[in-house]
Amino acid sequence: MPDLTVPPTPPTPPVLLSALLAREDLGLRQIAGPSDPDVAIHWAHTSEMPDPYPYLLGGELLLTAGVHITDAAGSGTYFDDYVARIVEAGGVALGFGVAPVHDTVPRALVAACDHYDLPLLEVPPPTPFSRVARAVWQLMAQARLAELRRVTEAQQSLAAAASRPDPVPSVLRQLAQRVSGRAVLYGPDGTEIAAAGRGAGTTGTPGVEAREALAKLARVVRPPATATSSSTSPTSATDTVLGIHLAAYALGTGQGFVLGVAAPQRAPGDHTIASVAAVLLSLLTGEHQSRTGADRSSALVRLLLGAPPEDVASLLGGDRWVVVHAAPDAGADRAPDPVAASALGAALGSTLIDQTPEVVRVLLPADREPAPQPGWTLGVSAPVTPDDWSAADTQAARALARARATRTPLAGHGSAGRAGLDGLVPHDEAEAHARALLAPLAAHPALTETLRTWLSLHGSWDRTAVALAVHRNTVRQRIARCAALLEADLDDPDVRMELWFGLRHLRAVAGE
């Protein structure tokens, strides 16, 4: 049965018995049991109990000075029973301390260890058990550090592979290399989409039976066809067939893709490495399956080749859109952080993000109503069709300036199409009157924009200065210049109202 309870993090690597015997400062000597260099020690434990079974977890080097051995022990089955209990509890080796209780290792203990294939180490008098235990922990710490370095290097190489032009084959090749085996990507129907590593595409290692077993394991973890999921956390299962270690990871796209891994050995960090590869492949296959990446690329190419925006909007997922301009709350002096910008887009529900040195711009389907976002100040345009994207961009910029000036987390552009007094005036007549009224400012765009912003902020010098990122005295000078050129009293509310209507009509004519 496959193991469905693989630990999510790499365990601490065990210590090889051969590495412990190689420590000259310990002076340990194996005097019984098999000379297997692959015997792994997970920890050291000292016990003088005649039956150590209740105190062992498995994988121990059990250390004893033989205090529990009586004078009559050698004439019966004491040593056979003692060693049998150690083996039954999962102990992997026995260390016997020579002195102060015994001058030599009892021969009956040597014979029992040989009989039960339990390695027996002689611990010389100058070596205390604490030093042996410390050596085990030191070797484990070294192995742990080496394994963490290996996992870190593998993660970096997998991330680099995912950014290459052929990301899926590159990730599989890198994974197969890191686990010294074979990596396979299975499609929703169970067929091999891509494979890399030893035996990939051949009948060689890991062999036909192991390959069939890996495909079967992939079916175990593949979710039902009706399951849906947006998670990128893979579920996994492991098995061993003919000495080949197998693992399968259901990719978290909800589309039925599975990553299979086969390797002749399984190091402690291999599961973590494969899990990283599974997460990357989840993102890659999810992008491929949903075609969002391909559609965005197609939309961009069509726009560059001259297609009207309304013709490519369907590829991006909507007919009406809003543009959001966002700036960090820290102010205009701090450029938006790329990671934070991506997170902002995800929070708003769009991957159509443009980061500039000043703001982050997000193109958002109109059915996803923007909400205030912690750490950001937002300006939102009115809903528009794709042919008005440019005008919506200007609206969002002005809304952001207004939000900054009023210190509000989100400001939106005024609702288009709302009935008002200006709608009672025929459009052509309103346009002609607006052009004549504001003609003295036509050659001064900065004055026009300052007047519009000043009027929208109810004549506030400070807020207008913040919105335009200029000094308040500059605002005063520009407004005074506007009053002079227009020959108008800007303190008169009727004059302000007429100018505001005029500015709105000119903005509509300009497509803003």
The CATH number given to 147-290 is: 3.30.450.30
Residue 5 has pLDDT above 80, yes or no: no
Residue 35 structure tokens: 């000379």
Residue whose token pair is 């050596």: 135
CA dist 377 → 358, 384, 402, 466, 486 (Å): 12, 21, 10, 13, 34
Please provide the DSSP assignment of 208-250 as one string. Answer: HHHHHHHHHHHHHHSPPTT--------EEEEEEETTEEEEEEE
Residue 331 has pLDDT above 70, yes or no: no
Residue 204 structure tokens: 């060689």
Identify the band that residue 355 occupies on the pLDDT scale cut at 50, 70 and 90.
Answer: confident
Per 3-state DSSP, the chain is made up of helix, strand and coil in percentages (nearest 5) of 45, 15, 35
Residue 204 has pLDDT above 60, yes or no: no
pLDDT of residue 118: 95
| 388 compared with 96, residue with greater pLDDT | 96
Instruction: Please report, for the chain, the start and end positions of each structural domain, with discontinuous segments joined by +.
Output: 29-126, 147-290, 309-412, 421-509
Strands 43-46 and 60-64: parallel
Answer for the pair 157, 178: CB distance below 8 angstroms, yes or no. Answer: yes
pLDDT tens digits for range 223-240: 654 444 444 445 778 888
Residue 280 has pLDDT above 80, yes or no: yes
| 401 compared with 88, residue with greater pLDDT | 88
Q: Which among 467, 468, 372 has a CA at the least distance from the CA of 411?
A: 372
Answer for the pair 282, 274: CB distance below 8 angstroms, yes or no. Answer: no
| 10 compared with 504, residue with greater pLDDT | 504
Residue 10 has pLDDT above 70, yes or no: no
Residue 296 structure tokens: 């965005």
pLDDT of residue 507: 59
Identify the band that residue 268 occupies on the pLDDT scale cut at 50, 70 and 90.
Answer: confident
CA distance 79 to 120: 13
The alpha-carbon radius of gyration of the chain (Å, integer) is 37
Residue 289 has pLDDT above 80, yes or no: no
Least confident of 56-60, 132-136, 343-347: 343-347
pLDDT tens digits for range 75-121: 789 999 999 999 999 999 999 999 888 989 999 999 999 999 999 99
pLDDT tens digits for range 111-162: 999 999 999 999 999 899 999 999 999 998 888 888 888 888 988 898 888 8
pLDDT of residue 325: 93
Q: Where does 291-388 have alpha helices with state H? A: 292-304, 309-316, 338-348
pLDDT of residue 228: 45
Residue type, 302: R
pLDDT tens digits for range 458-476: 888 988 888 888 898 999 9
pLDDT tens digits for range 357-373: 788 899 888 887 888 88
Question: Please, what sign has the CA dihedral across residues 326, 329, 335, 338?
Answer: negative
Instruction: Tell me the average pLDDT across 234-247.
Output: 81
Instruction: Tell me the average pLDDT across 42-54.
Output: 92
Least confident of 1-10, 171-180, 185-194: 1-10
Answer for the pair 179, 264: CB distance below 8 angstroms, yes or no. Answer: no
The CATH number given to 29-126 is: 3.40.1390.20
Q: Which CATH superfamily is domain 421-509 in?
A: PucR C-terminal helix-turn-helix domain (1.10.10.2840)
pLDDT of residue 172: 92
- Percent over 90 (pLDDT), the chain: 25
Task: Tell me what the pLDDT averaged over the chain comes to.
Answer: 81
Q: How many CB atoms lie within 10 A of CB 186?
A: 25
CA distance 471 to 168: 54
pLDDT tens digits for range 420-438: 555 555 666 777 877 888 8
Q: How many CB atoms lie within 10 A of CB 182?
A: 29
pLDDT of residue 384: 87
Q: What three-state secondary structure class fits 431?
A: helix
